[in-house]
Chains A and B, each alone.
Chain A
C-alpha cells in the first residue's frame, strides 16, 4: 500500500480523548459468486481511521469497493475478516448499534421510491426515533434547506433525478446523527443543487458531525473533503488531504491532445508523446513534467503536426492524476 501519512488529520474538532469516528482494521469482504462462480474480492485488507468532525472521502472508480466498504460501516454487510468501530462501538460484533449512531444514504433508495417526498422524510425521521410532531417540523426545515419544499406532496418517482436525490439526502439528514455515511449524494445533481448539498453537509460538520462521503467525482473530492482515501480494486492506494496528495504529483501537468485525424507518426514529438499517452479514441492524455509539456506543446503548435491537431489543454494535476500516478487503472472518474 502506498498510503501517504494516513494519520495526518488536518484538525480533529473533538477533544483528544474522543474516539475516532470510524476505525476500520484489516477489513476484507468478498461477494459470493452466483452458481459456483468465483467470489469477487471487493475489499482487500482495508485499514482507515476517520477523525471526529472531518469530511472524509472515499474516491475511486466504479468497482473499486467503495460501496461495499460503506455498507459494512453501516452494518448492512458483515466483513469476512477485520473489524469496524463507529464512535467507539464495535459494529462488527453488534451491527444493530450502527443505526443508532449514524445515518446512511445509499446510491439509490428504492424503499422510498413511491412515497411522497414529505412523508418519506417524515417516516425516516420517525424510524430514527423522532416523535411525529418533531419529525414533521424538522422535515419542513430540511426540505426548505435543500430547496425542495414545493414538491413535498409529490412521490419521489414523479420527480426529476436531481430532485429525487435531494429528497434522499433530506431523508438521510433528518434525525441528526453524529456520523453521516453518504454514498454518492450528489450524483445526478446540477451544480446549484450540488452546492446546496455541500452547504448542508458543511453546516452539519460545523455542528460537530462527521461525514464519510463516497464519490467518484474529482471536483467534489477536491472541493469538500478534508481528507480522502483513494481506492482501487479493493485496496487503499493513498490517504491524505487532497492538497498533499496533489503535491505528490505537483511537478507534473496533464497534456490532453485531441486529434482531427491520425497524428503524423514520423513527427519526433508525436512519436515521443505516443510512448506515454493514454489513448481514448481521438484523445491522448499524457502526464509529464511541466517544462517538458511546455516544450512539447511548443514544438507541436509550431510544426506540421498542428495540421492534425483539433484541440489541446494543459492542466495542473487533479486527484485523478494522483489516482493514475499511484497506479490506478480505471478511467471513469468524473472530472466535472
Chain B
C-alpha cells in the first residue's frame, strides 16, 4: 500500500512564495550592496560628465542609458550569480530539492526578486543622469519597459552563471566579469568600439536594453524604433531563464 502524495504548490503559488521570501531577505541584508550599485553608476555619470559635452546628445544618452542598465547588471547579473553560486556551493539547494517546488518557480522567483531590487537604484540613476546631461525626464516612462526586460534577461544570465559554476568563487568571478562587460560595452556608443568589441557587445542583452533607453532619451520617443531592441531583450530573457531552470534541475539532483 502506498501513501498518497501530498499536493504540491502550482507554479504561481510557488513563485509568489519564493519571491516574497527573497524580497524580504534583500530588505534585511542587501541594503548596502544596493547602495553601492547605485553609487557606482551615479559615480560614472559624474565622472563622464567631465568629458562629455552637453551638446553631444547621443553620447550623453548612451552614458545615461548604460549607467542605468549597469545598476541592473550589478544586482541581477552579478549578485544573483553569487547567490546561486553560494547556494550550490554550500548545499542551500538541498532546501529546495526537498520541497515540491517546480524548478522554474525557484529560478523565476529569485530572478524576479533580484530584478525588483534594481528598480530604485536604476530609476535614481536615470533621473540623476537626465538632470546632469540635460535629457528629457518625461521620457523616462520607457523604464517601465526597459527595466523588466533588462532585469529578466540579465537575471537569467546571472542565475545560469551561478548554477553552472563548479565553485562559488568561479560564480563570483563570472558575475563580476559579466558586470564589467556591461559597464564597458554599455556606456560607450557601439560605433566608437573596435569591431571585436562590437561583436561582443552584440551578444549582451544589456546592450539592447541600453540602446533602447538611449534612443528614448533623444528628442522624441518612438515606440516602433525601440521595439526591435526590446524584442531581442525579451527573447534573451526567455532563453536565459529557461536555460537557468534546466541548470537548476541538474544542480539539485546529483
The answer to whether A115 and B99 touch across the interface, beta carbons within 8 angstroms, is no
Cβ of A108 within 8 Å of any chain B Cβ, yes or no, is: yes
Per the bound structure, the CA–CA distance linking A108 and B28 in Å amounts to: 20
The answer to whether A155 and B29 touch across the interface, beta carbons within 8 angstroms, is yes
Known: A78-B253, A87-B3, A114-B28. A123 touches B94 (CB 8 A): no
Cβ–Cβ < 8 Å partners of A155 in chain B: 28-29
The answer to whether B2 and A119 touch across the interface, beta carbons within 8 angstroms, is no
Chain B proximity mask over A4-31: 1 for CB below 8 Å, otherwise 0: 0000000000000111000000000000
Per the bound structure, the CA–CA distance linking A18 and B90 in Å amounts to: 37
Cβ of A211 within 8 Å of any chain B Cβ, yes or no, is: no
The answer to whether A100 and B8 touch across the interface, beta carbons within 8 angstroms, is yes
The answer to whether B25 and A115 touch across the interface, beta carbons within 8 angstroms, is yes
Cβ–Cβ < 8 Å partners of A100 in chain B: 5-8, 100
Cβ–Cβ < 8 Å partners of B98 in chain A: 74-76, 98-99, 102-104, 106
The answer to whether A101 and B94 touch across the interface, beta carbons within 8 angstroms, is no
Contact among A99, A103, A114 for B8, CB-based, below 8 A: A99
Per the bound structure, the CA–CA distance linking A95 and B249 in Å amounts to: 12
Known: A76-B94, A99-B8, A123-B21. A88 touches B99 (CB 8 A): no
Per the bound structure, the CA–CA distance linking A74 and B97 in Å amounts to: 8
Per the bound structure, the CA–CA distance linking A252 and B2 in Å amounts to: 44
Known: A75-B253, A114-B29. A106 touches B95 (CB 8 A): yes
Interface size class of A (residues with CB under 8 A): 35 or more
Known: A106-B94, A106-B95, A155-B28. A101 touches B253 (CB 8 A): no
Per the bound structure, the CA–CA distance linking A102 and B20 in Å amounts to: 24
Cβ of A89 within 8 Å of any chain B Cβ, yes or no, is: yes
Cβ of A163 within 8 Å of any chain B Cβ, yes or no, is: no
Cβ–Cβ < 8 Å partners of A286 in chain B: none
Contact among B1, B13, B100 for A88, CB-based, below 8 A: B1
Per the bound structure, the CA–CA distance linking A119 and B3 in Å amounts to: 29
Cβ of B122 within 8 Å of any chain A Cβ, yes or no, is: no
Cβ–Cβ < 8 Å partners of B252 in chain A: 76
The answer to whether A116 and B94 touch across the interface, beta carbons within 8 angstroms, is no
CB A121 to nearest CB in B, in angstroms, measures 11
Known: A74-B98, A115-B24, A126-B9. A108 touches B91 (CB 8 A): yes
Cβ of B101 within 8 Å of any chain A Cβ, yes or no, is: yes
Known: A87-B2, A110-B86. A129 touches B28 (CB 8 A): no
Q: Which residues of B, 10-37, contact A by the 8 Å Cβ criterion?
A: 13-14, 16-18, 20-21, 24-25, 28-29
Contact among A96, A114, A177 for B6, CB-based, below 8 A: A177
CB A214 to nearest CB in B, in angstroms, measures 14
Known: A71-B94, A114-B25, A124-B99. A88 touches B3 (CB 8 A): yes
Chain B proximity mask over A224-245: 1 for CB below 8 Å, otherwise 0: 0000000000000000000000
Per the bound structure, the CA–CA distance linking A211 and B86 in Å amounts to: 30
Cβ–Cβ < 8 Å partners of A128 in chain B: 6, 9, 99-100
CB B1 to nearest CB in A, in angstroms, measures 5
A181: nearest chain-B partner, CB-CB: B98
A residues adjacent to B (C-beta < 8 A): 17-19, 71, 74-78, 87-89, 95-104, 106, 108-112, 114-116, 119-120, 123-124, 126-129, 155, 157, 175, 177-178
20 contacts between A and B (CB under 8 A): A18-B1, A19-B3, A74-B94, A76-B97, A76-B252, A87-B3, A88-B3, A89-B5, A99-B99, A109-B92, A110-B92, A111-B87, A114-B29, A115-B21, A120-B21, A123-B18, A127-B17, A127-B18, A129-B7, A157-B29
